[in-house]
Structure 1
Amino acid sequence: MIKYYDRKTKNYQIEKVAGEKMIRWTYSSPVGMKLLEAVVKKKMCSSFYGWYLDRRISRRKINPFVNKFDMDLSIAEKKLREFSSFNDFFYRKLKPSARSIDSHEDSLISLGDGKVLAYEHIDLDNLVQVKGLTYSLKELIKSPAIASKYQKGTCLILRLCPTDYHRFHFIDSGTCETSYRIKGAYYSVNPMALQKVEKLFCENKREWSIFRSDHFGDILHIEVGATFVGSIIQTYTPQHRVARGAEKGYFKFGGSTVLLFFEENKIKIDADIIEQTKLGIETYVVFGEKIGNRL
């Protein structure tokens, strides 16, 4: 059971997890863990499933998925019958009116829809994965020089579950550099998996880039793939200026995670998100929603 905080109702909700029984069995049973290491975490497994979800035959999965999770597709650009495959549905675009972007230049906005955790005054060698498990930013991006810029800064972790909108965006105007790819495994990023696999983010496939924002300094942007995520697709053009809210990229099928690292004394995260993070609880946010301020 995954509990998260709903900012609108100020109440806790229980997340509906796609494939919950299978995830729980895989990451908690001896047989499941052996299967995980031998097959599930491998690129071949995720690539094959991703190939299937790009095919027209996979459209038959859309209706059951939408009905099971009571998804609102009225905010999507395409109608249900217009999706060419399950992946086409999965990384669907939203209507411009679907999300309201806070335009104040001092407002820090969410880069996408999902569950967020926020950590301030971070120790680069002991970043929190879950209680009792940590990892190093140097290991995560394999660049000690870049990592050192974010000592005592702020880390945001946005987890996108399979039912979420799976495109991610720039939180400010500015210029983004080229993305660097790091090969890795395909573990789930579900909290159940994070409790079982040490340094999971450092094990999984990931990409990172530096976004030179106009109002929040140089932001380290990291996308982490997960089980059955066939691809991390970058849609921006490196070194070209972008506006606040412009699309950076999207994930194909699967739960995924985006991490943002800010330099020291650049931002202040909203108190409710920090409070819930200290309790070990994620807060649900949507793209464009204010989640903090510039210092």
Structure 2
Amino acid sequence: MKFKKPNKKWTIIWFISALIFVLAVFPVPSQKPIKYIDRETGQIQIENVYGEQWLNWLYHNPVGEATLWVIAKRKIVTSLYGDAMEKPSSADKIMPFVKEYKVDLSIAQQQRFKSFNDFFIRQLKPEARPIIADSLAIASPADGKILAYENINQSDFYIKGFRFNVDSFLNDKELSKKYENGAMIVFRLAPPDYHRYHFPVSGVTGSSNIKIEGDYYSVNPLALRKKAEIFWLNKREYSIIKSPIFGDVAMVEVGATMVGSMIQTYKGTTVKKGQEKGYFKFGGSTVVLLFEKDQIKIDEDLLTNTSRGLETTIKMGEQIAVKK
């Protein structure tokens, strides 16, 4: 009996397919848990990460990384998922999410929601987030977890020896010079957090944000440990708040995987500390504040925790720094 010689082309295709399958199911190396400091108690906690297995696979598996490059970081994926979160049927996901991540709905202005996104962008009762009254204090613009750097040019960012690139982040070399050796504070909003952001200081700003197009990588530490430059690769928007006390403060909102939109809600150009600026639709996201050199003194606990490689929980309106 005569056997046909295997077709070389199909042999290669079969081999590549088998290799992809093996890599895809290959166990992802275990990652260190995300630890942070609870500011109220001072205790170290471990974060319950939304979509942790998916993030680990995307950023720490060869096939996952290829999928990330080809599909997951693209706008279309985020848009499709965002649209799904607007549908009335998505409201079924709310209560399981609330229970899993211990979201306190008692402080929300409403208790019933039309969709998951309606829940995600919920407004809080004013008394739930009092704004630090001292005019020489800077208020946290958002709920989340915070990293603080006194000198952006001399600080490791997520990875030892890695420096934050302000030029690329602002996409403006002239503007970035203003923040050389200045301070930077990063606020990471995880999916369970309150997702509206507010002005940290009073002052005058433009009537609209400056927008920079980009990708939609995750901003979770599981991703940043592998790719710390995500901040200047992702879509972002910023405004400059001209404060008579704190100088020119850059406030930047950074999009991320599954963040459908960043919606600015403020009107006019004169803004007050604690005033709502806008909100993120579904997904984890980030707000970054940049300050000119020698303008502020960041609260010591935030600096200490950051130097230990630990984020600190923060609530919108809390003091994070004072005038130097």
Fold-level similarity (TM above 0.5): yes
**SS at structure 2 position matched to 1:199:** helix
Moved over 6 A (4+): none
Return the offset for 1:18.
0.8
1:88 is matched with 118
Deviations 1:120-160 (A, max 9, x none): 12229x77243343341111111111110011110000000
Count of paired positions: 291
Task: Determine if the alignment matches structure 1 residue 142 to structure 2 residue 163.
Answer: no
Determine if contact 2:108/2:125 at 8 Å carries over to the other structure.
yes
Aligned equivalents of 1:278 and 1:286: distance in 2?
21
Aligned equivalents of 1:59 and 1:208: distance in 2?
31
- Could you tell me which runs of 5 or more consecutive residues in structure 2 were left unpaired when the two chains were aligned: 1-32
Deviations 1:29-66 (A, max 9, x none): 11111111111100000000001111111111111101
1:206 to 219, 224, 236: 236
Q: Which letter does structure 2 place at the counterpart of 1:51?
A: D
1:63 to 91, 95, 100: 95
Greater fraction strand: 1
Q: Which letter does structure 1 place at the counterpart of 2:260?
A: G
Determine if contact 1:134/1:199 at 8 Å carries over to the other structure.
no
Aligned equivalents of 2:258 and 2:38: distance in 1?
28
1:219 is matched with 249
Aligned equivalents of 2:156 and 2:275: distance in 1?
29
Aligned equivalents of 1:247 and 1:201: distance in 2?
23
Aligned equivalents of 1:94 and 1:26: distance in 2?
33
**SS at structure 1 position matched to 2:118:** helix
Aligned equivalents of 1:234 and 1:132: distance in 2?
35
Task: Determine if the alignment matches structure 1 residue 46 to structure 2 residue 78.
Answer: yes
**SS at structure 2 position matched to 1:291:** strand
Q: Which letter does structure 2 place at the counterpart of 1:75?
A: I
Q: Which letter does structure 1 place at the counterpart of 2:56?
A: R
Return the offset for 1:237.
2.5
2:29 is matched with none
Aligned equivalents of 1:112 and 1:246: distance in 2?
11
- The verdict on how the C-alpha distance between 1:233 and 1:130 changes in structure 2, with shifts beyond 3 A counting, is farther
Instruction: Please show how residues 2-151 of structure 1 align to structure 2 within 5 Å.
Output: 2-79=34-111, 82-123=112-153, 128-151=157-180
Return the offset for 1:242.
1.6
Task: Determine if the alignment matches structure 1 residue 266 to structure 2 residue 266.
Answer: no
**SS at structure 2 position matched to 1:128:** coil
Aligned equivalents of 1:264 and 1:9: distance in 2?
31
Deviations 1:156-212 (A, max 9, x none): 000000000001100122112231111111110000100112411111111111111
2:315 to 262, 286, 292: 286
Q: Tell me whether 212-221 or 65-74 shows the greater mean CA deviation.
A: 212-221
Determine if contact 1:133/1:199 at 8 Å carries over to the other structure.
no
Return the offset for 1:219.
0.3
Determine if contact 2:158/2:309 at 8 Å carries over to the other structure.
no
- The verdict on how the C-alpha distance between 1:162 and 1:137 changes in structure 2, with shifts beyond 3 A counting, is same
- Could you tell me which runs of 5 or more consecutive residues in structure 1 were left unpaired when the two chains were aligned: none
Aligned equivalents of 1:144 and 1:215: distance in 2?
25
**SS at structure 1 position matched to 2:222:** helix
Determine if contact 1:123/1:152 at 8 Å carries over to the other structure.
yes
CA RMSD of aligned residues (A): 1.4
Return the offset for 1:114.
0.6
Q: Tell me whether 40-49 or 127-136 shows the greater mean CA deviation.
A: 127-136
* Percent of pairs with identical residues: 47
1:241 to 258, 270, 279: 270
